[in-house]
Amino acid sequence: MSAQIFPRNANAIFLASLFGLVMLIVGTIAAMVGFYLSPWYTDVGVAKAQPVPFSHKHHVSELKIDCRYCHATVEKAAHAGFPATETCMSCHSQVWTTSPLLEVVRTSYQTGEPVVWNRIYDLPDFVYFNHSIHIAKGIGCSSCHGRIDQQQLAAKAQPLYMGWCLGCHRAPEDHIRPREEVFNMEWDVNSLSLAERQQLVIEYQIPTDGRLTNCFVCHR
């Protein structure tokens, strides 16, 4: 009879470590997916510090200034239009003229040096997003930007994953609204019935034959 090399509980230890190894792999994958979807990675809801603490809540919700006053090209161009220093100064040459918070803006206006803001949404360069077509087809600001009128410092409302884009391109009737309500931040998509929204999709001539999910629609 040969000597026992392994102690009696070796089998239990082997099974336990096998189980542990599997759980470690599954857990690692789950943690990576969780990280990928979390604000640590996506920055969703994480307000960024800016050279001037500009508040959308104050300007949009309290002062009722139209989105287009600053983002003037949103209906005509791919880019919504980031306001020039002159746009800030068209009011702030008259109001809050001595505020230390606006010193950066005043200096920029005097010297011509741009204020360097921190970008909130950074779409990959191989995606060609166009604001104007979404506005023209009845997709509201808040559909993608969330209730930015309730944010003090601006933060991302969407991680901009491709699946999220496709969700709307597959079923625009879930997000469409009348053109007059595009800039209405309080618009609730359920204030129209599904049938009424489907009618809008037809009226605005949004293709429902699958063309909107072709790769080249966004990747050109």
Partner 1 sequence: MKYSIRQSILARVVRLAWLPLCLVLVACHVDMYDQPKYKPNDVSNFFPDGRAMQPPPANTVPLNSYNPNSPLMTGRVEGQLADQLPPEIKLDAALLAHGQSRYNAFCAPCHGLVGDGQGVIAYRGPMTVPSLHQDRLRTVPIGYFFDVITNGIGRMYSYAARIPPEDRWAIAAYVRALQLSQNTDVALLSEAELERVKAGR
Positions that interact with partner 1 (CB under 8 A): 63-69, 72, 76, 79, 82, 84, 86-87, 89-91, 93-95, 112-114, 116, 119, 124-126
Supply the minimum distance, in Å, between the C-beta of residue 86 and partner 1.
Answer: 6
Q: How far apart (Å, rounded) are the C-alpha atoms in residues 139 and 132?
A: 10
Nearer of residues 121 and 204 to partner 1, judged by Cβ? 121
Nearer of residues 98 and 205 to partner 1, judged by Cβ? 98
Nearer of residues 93 and 208 to partner 1, judged by Cβ? 93
Supply the minimum distance, in Å, between the C-beta of residue 62 and partner 1.
Answer: 9
Q: Identify whether the C-beta of residue 149 lies closer than 8 Å to the C-beta of residue 61.
A: yes
Supply the minimum distance, in Å, between the C-beta of residue 61 and partner 1.
Answer: 12
> Tokens 């096998």 belong to which residue?
18
Nearer of residues 18 and 194 to partner 1, judged by Cβ? 18
Supply the minimum distance, in Å, between the C-beta of residue 126 and partner 1.
Answer: 5
Q: Which are the contacts of 130, defined by CB distance < 8 A and separation ≥ 6?
A: 77, 78
Nearer of residues 89 and 157 to partner 1, judged by Cβ? 89
Tokens, residue 218: 């966004």
Q: How far apart (Å, rounded) are the C-alpha atoms in residues 32 and 35?
A: 5
Exposure of 200 in the CB half-sphere (CA atoms within 13 A): 22
Supply the minimum distance, in Å, between the C-beta of residue 166 and partner 1.
Answer: 19
Q: How far apart (Å, rounded) are the C-alpha atoms in residues 5 and 18?
A: 20
